[in-house]
Amino acid sequence: MSSVLPDWLLHPATLALTGLAIGSFLNVVIHRLPAMLERDWWRDALHQVSDNDSYRRVFGSAAPEALLRSGASLQTAIGSLQPLSLARPASRCPSCGHRIRAYENIPLLSWIALRGRCSSCHARISARYPLVELSCAALFAAIGWRMGAQPQVWLWCAFSAALLALAWIDWDTTVLPDAITLPLLWGGLLCAGLGWTIPPVTAIAGATAGYLSLWAVYWFFKLATGKEGMGYGDFKLLAAMGAWLGWQALLPIVLGASVIGAVVGIAMKLGGALREGRYVPFGPFLAGAGLVVMLAGTSAVQAWIGLS
């Protein structure tokens, strides 16, 4: 990638300000994308319960009237939903429905000026919103400082923003959406193929090893215990990180994520924050370990954990 951008666009301060704005958008993604996915799942369920031919093929008889009536009720419920996307409706207070004005939506500053409360009903606004914005700003600035004034900085900023969104979504819902993991995977392979990040062979090996390693662990655990230890989203996430960081980064990422995840899980269990039958999602720790490897470098992290 040739250097076609002015240096001020690559300065850590510029990147930090951009990170604040991107972080504000990530808050929308973290909140709305899982809700959009759930709506899609209910639409899929409606299609299935309304498919009499499919029911007959599976169960050998016509669908019972009660099932068809439930499908009609579900169709009515889905039809009553207001449209939802990342752009619409405009942001509103979840407590009173107050529409957030433009000057109330300035990253970080508006939350401070409002003292963390809605201007209409004074309900508390979660500190997560400025935390996500600050995290994104810090990541962007750190990438600019670490990698210098080169256009590839913006690619790595996009990579880190995607990991940040995935970490929060998985923590909230235990879901890693394909809408983010798959573009992240193919984007990593494309950038490598165009010579913008790592050698293409390293990226392909990283994506393949990333997916297959967790896939093998998943099936070994399931065959041994009859339980599922992780989801398919974890496979795709590690494959995406392999495409960006290379196969050499996979072992440090998995080891770091496993250790920290185990410590957090045990602490939550002892503190009563983890209910019986629930589990701590692995995605946030994979994403966090991937960000550390990206910023520190694979060889440095390998040295920290005694792999080199």
Which residues does 237 contact at the CB level (< 8 Å), separation at least 6? 166, 176, 181, 184, 283, 286, 287
Cis peptide before 199 (omega within 30 of 0): no
Q: Which of 67, 29, 53 is nearest to 165 (CA)?
A: 29
Concatenating the DSSP letter of every residue in 185-243 gives: HHHHHHHHHTTSSS-HHHHHHHHHHHHHHHHHHHHHHHHHHSS--S-HHHHHHHHHHHH
Q: Which of 128, 193, 187 is nearest to 163 (CA)?
A: 187
Query: Which token pair is 280?
Result: 């701590």
Q: Is residue 157 a contact partner of residue 14, using CB atoms and an 8 Å limit?
A: no
pLDDT tens track for 172-182: 999 999 999 99
pLDDT beyond 80 at 80: yes
pLDDT beyond 50 at 236: yes
Highest average pLDDT, of 5-9, 35-39, 225-229, comes from: 35-39
Q: What pTM did the predictor assign?
A: 0.92
pLDDT at position 297: 87
The fraction of the chain above a pLDDT of 70, given in percent, is 96
Q: Where are the domains of the chain?
A: 151-304
pLDDT at position 2: 46
pLDDT at position 264: 87
